[in-house]
Structure formats: structure tokens, C-alpha cells
Amino acid sequence: DAKTTQPNSMESNEEEPVHLPCNHSTISGTDYIHWYRQLPSQGPEYVIHGLTSNVNNRMASLAIAEDRKSSTLILHRATLRDAAVYYCILLDSGGGADGLTFGKGTHLIIQP
């Protein structure tokens, strides 16, 4: 299975943009890039996903490198409520038998 690499933690200030990187150098052509986050004491929550093109939704933007070996989750204006662990996950378009494989993720700390 293709793996992802993320920094263990990042820190940002409230109301500033946050760029969370993810490396996936062994990504296959059919792998979708999904991002989930887990707020303290809650279950994981879907954030965004994409295949090749950059994607935007009300929560965040996803920038995917042209060679698809890396991607960046962008929170345009971080709030204290965005403090969470962010997981970058690859999912094969044909589905898989392994469920969502959560790595250690990036622990995002937001300073007021």
C-alpha cells in the first residue's frame, strides 16, 4: 500500500493561513488523496479529497503537486477550533480491503 509521510506537529497563529504538507512518493495513478481530522475527544471528521486537480470546499483547500507525489492541505484562516490531528490518507479508486489507514498524522496547534 502506498504510504504517506506527515510532520508530527505544526504550530500556527489564529487567523493566519496554515499549510499542512503530505508526501506520498509511491502514490499510484488510481489513488485518491483524502484528508481527515480528529478534534480532541471526537471521532475523525472528513475534510477534503482529490485526485489530480486542486480542490476547494468550505473547510479547506487541497493543492496537489503536478507529479502527485505530495499534497498540501490549506486552512485559509485558522481558528482555535481547527486545533486537531490531521491525517493524509491514500485510497485506491477501486476500493480496498484495508479500510482507512491512519498514520500518526500532524498535530496542529493554534496559538491565540
Partner 1 sequence: DSGVTQTPKHLITATGQRVTLRCSPRSGDLSVYWYQQSLDQGLQFLIQYYNGEERAKGNILERFSAQQFPDLHSELNLSSLELGDSALYFCASSYGGFRDTQYFGPGTRLTVL
Residue 60 binds partner 1, judged by CB under 8 A: no
Residue 49 binds partner 1, judged by CB under 8 A: yes
- Give the residue among 73, 47, 77, 78 at the shortest CA–CA distance from 61: 73
Residue 51 binds partner 1, judged by CB under 8 A: no
Residue 1 binds partner 1, judged by CB under 8 A: no
Strands ordered across the beta sheet of 31-38? 9-13, 106-111, 84-92, 31-38, 45-50
Q: Can you give the binding site for partner 1, defined by CB under 8 A?
A: 32, 36, 38, 42-46, 49, 87, 91-93, 95-104
